[in-house]
Amino acid sequence: MIQDRLLIIAAAAGSAAMLLGALAFQFIGGLAPCPLCIWQRWPHVAAVLLGVLGLSLLRRHLRPVALLGMLATLTGAALGLYHTGIERGWWPGPDTCTSSDIRNLSTDELMKQILNAPLVRCDEVVWDLFGLSMASWNALVSLALAAVWLLAAALAGRNQDSSSASQ
């Protein structure tokens, strides 16, 4: 009964922790985020807001909220995987945050590219732990949080079915 809400709280708290960690790396650690790093924060913001919403709703509305939370964290995982692929050179990233090949550029074109280059590039790993970048860790943690949201949705659905059957 209360388990579905506890799982929603746990999942939302996990996303809040991810946001706090990202902000700590940025403001305490001095690691400026690239545009993709910023994009990866938004699904966690959505998950935290859904968690707060889940606390204030009636039980019958918990399942859709939990499913939306799962969708938000899966989006975060997809963005983390996309960013990881850019960092590892598996695929190119957006022109706004990666560098291009300079071999065929004239001196003037090279100077223009240097002057217009983003301050923080998406294709460079600025921090890693056990060989995994922050984007990779975000993808893994987001997948784990999506599983918690899914479990909350399953329990909320089961609790809703049992309460409607008893009436």
Q: What is the CATH number of the domain that holds 47?
A: 1.20.1550.10
* CB-facing half-sphere around the CA of 158: CA atoms within 13 A: 11
| pLDDT-derived band at 111, boundaries 50, 70, 90 | confident
C-alpha–C-alpha distance, residues 130 and 160, integer Å? 42
Return the pLDDT at 121.
Answer: 78
Any alpha helices (H) in the chain, and if so which ranges? 3-27, 35-56, 62-87, 107-115, 134-165
pTM check: above 0.85: no
Q: DSSP secondary-structure letter at 129?
A: E
Return the pLDDT at 127.
Answer: 85
Q: Per the structure, how many domains does the chain have?
A: 1
Give the domain extent around 54.
3-165
| Rounded mean pLDDT, 32-37 | 90
Asked if 87 and 122 touch (Cβ cutoff 8 Å), the reply is yes
Pick 94 or 66 by higher pLDDT. Answer: 66
* Coil, strand or helix at 62: helix
5-26 tens-digit pLDDT: 899 999 999 999 999 999 999 9
Return the pLDDT at 166.
Answer: 46
C-alpha–C-alpha distance, residues 93 and 96, integer Å? 8
pLDDT at residue 133 is higher than 50: yes
| Rounded mean pLDDT, 44-73 | 91
End-to-end CA distance of the chain: 16
